[in-house]
């Protein structure tokens, strides 16, 4: 029984490079982001993984990351389910603003709270808790059954939608999740027990 779940944040996007709050804005990968996605695929290949199904958000940076990974594995055409439940946290009024400009305007601490706290939403946007309230049910009802039936499942999504998922999988508290960062293009490889708890977790870093 494989019961394998791989989570990967998309490769660097144009707005990661420009240091802009992105959220639901649909921006492309940079050249570096494309290379990161392909390298992630190579690392998964070196692990001998083959996926049974893939899930991604409806934002192109995650979709393209997913497609590059599958191409590296020789799995172009694998069933891939797109759903906005996996989209990045909605950054509301901060979307499109420069992160350093936001720090200059509202202060370092306030911006950190908006970016990393569990239950404080940015103005007009979603908190991590709000994001988890759509990501977790989608995981439980739609993704997890494929893992528990013995499959190997890829989820290509976003920094904060995956932080919400990892928080629940790892049993982190609202305080612990504040410190958690997820690098672009670094697959997180989980093996689950039959009762859906985590048997092991490994970061596939370069």
Ligand X SMILES: O=C(O)[C@@H](CO)OP(=O)(O)O
CB of 28 to ligand X, least distance (A): 14
Figure out which of the listed residues 3, 6, 8, 23 binds ligand X, where binding follows CB under 6 A: 23
> How far apart are CB 16 and ligand X at their closest, in Å?
5
Question: Catalytic annotation on 10?
Answer: yes
Q: Which is nearer to ligand X, 132 or 159 (CB)?
A: 159
By CB under 6 A, residue 138 contacts ligand X: no
Contact between 161 and ligand X (CB under 6 A)? no
**Residues 6 or more apart whose Cβ sits within 8 Å of residue 109:** none
CA nearest neighbour of 58 among 161, 149, 128 = 161
Contacts of ligand X in 68-107 (CB under 6 A):
88, 91
How are strands ordered across the β-sheet holding 4-9? 80-82, 53-56, 152-157, 4-9, 188-192, 198-203
Is 43 among the residues that bind ligand X (CB under 6 A)? no
3-state helix, strand, coil in the chain (%, to 5): 45, 15, 40
Annotated active-site residue 88? The verdict is yes
Q: Please tell me which residue in 36, 72, 88, 126 is annotated as part of the active site.
A: 88
């Amino acid at each position: 029984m494989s019961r394998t779940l791989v989570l990967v944040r998309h490769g660097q996007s144009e707005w990661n490079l420009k240091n802009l709050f992105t959220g639901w804005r649909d921006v492309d990968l940079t050249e570096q982001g494309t290379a990161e996605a392909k390298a992630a695929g190579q690392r998964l290949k070196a692990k001998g993984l083959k996926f049974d199904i893939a899930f991604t958000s409806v934002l192109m940076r995650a979709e393209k990351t997913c497609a590059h990974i599958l191409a590296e594995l020789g799995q172009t055409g694998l069933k891939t389910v797109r759903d906005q439940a996996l989209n990045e946290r909605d950054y509301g009024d901060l979307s499109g603003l420069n992160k350093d400009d936001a720090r200059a305007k509202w202060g370092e601490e306030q911006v950190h709270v908006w970016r990393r706290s569990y239950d404080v939403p940015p103005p007009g946007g979603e908190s991590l808790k709000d994001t988890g309230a759509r990501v977790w049910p989608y995981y439980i009802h739609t993704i997890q059954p494929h893992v528990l039936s013995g499959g190997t499942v890829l989820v290509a999504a976003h920094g904060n939608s995956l932080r919400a998922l990892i928080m629940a999988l790892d049993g982190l508290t609202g305080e612990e999740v504040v410190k958690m960062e997820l690098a672009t293009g670094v697959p997180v490889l989980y093996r689950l027990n039959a009762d859906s708890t985590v048997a092991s977790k490994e970061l596939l870093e370069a």
